[in-house]
Amino acid sequence: MTKEIVEYNQLKNEEWFDNLVEECKAIVTQRRLRASLEIIEGKWDLGKRIIKDSNYEKHLKGSGKIVDGLAKDIGISNSDLYDCLKFYERFEVFDKALEEFGNNVTWFQIRQKYLGKRNEKAGTPRVCYRIEGILESFRDWFNSSKATQVEEAIEEFKNKLIKLRK
């Protein structure tokens, strides 16, 4: 073992070994950046695909349950899908997004810095998902007809808020 340590310590000081280490670090760094940008562009593509769908306005926008179900069906978290939608809404041209935050950024950083609150759904005012959360908490207390009436009232309220924001 001591011989291996001595040999490694000797190699560390040789120019060819330094070059090897630096080139390997560069490969790792470059691949990490490319992988991060691929993830970011994939999130943008996902948001674009959903928002550009002809049925988005009719069935998905502002409908937490349907978007939550879609997130589950495609295998990502609700908050991640909402962030994909917000990301595309904020940056409809991907190259402009890259111009704003540069190449050395992660999806986590974009979510934190550019997309705001993690639990904020795209196109939905914050009060709407708070109301939805309260409704979920008390759903069992309502009989099915009351729950439907409350859900319809909430949906109508959300749509009015969304129109006011525009």
Tens of pLDDT along 82-114? 999 999 999 999 988 888 888 788 898 888 888
The conformational region for residue 143 under phi > 0 = left, psi -120 to 50 = alpha, else beta, is beta
Indicate if the pLDDT at residue 118 is higher than 50. no
Q: What would you report as the CA-atom Rg of the chain, rounded to the nearest whole angstrom?
A: 24
* DSSP sequence for 40-53: HHHHHHHHHHHHTS
pLDDT-derived band at 28 (thresholds 50, 70, 90) equals: very high
Closest C-alpha among 126, 98, 130 to residue 114: 98
**Inter-residue contact 124 to 162 (CB < 8 Å):** yes
- pTM value is 0.61
Q: Measure the CA–CA gap between 42 and 40, rounded to whole angstroms.
A: 5
Q: Measure the CA–CA gap between 29 and 1, rounded to whole angstroms.
A: 31
CA dihedral 25→27→28→34, nearest 10 degrees, is: 140
Indicate if the pLDDT at residue 24 is higher than 80. yes
Relative orientation angle of helices 15-51 and 107-114, to the nearest 10 degrees? 50
Q: Measure the CA–CA gap between 132 and 91, rounded to whole angstroms.
A: 27
Indicate if the pLDDT at residue 153 is higher than 90. no
Q: How confident is the model over 69-82, as a mean pLDDT?
A: 90
Indicate if the pLDDT at residue 16 is higher than 60. yes
pLDDT-derived band at 9 (thresholds 50, 70, 90) equals: confident
Q: Measure the CA–CA gap between 67 and 82, rounded to whole angstroms.
A: 8
Indicate if the pLDDT at residue 140 is higher than 60. no
Q: Quickly count: other Cβ atoms within 10 Å of residue 129's Cβ.
A: 17
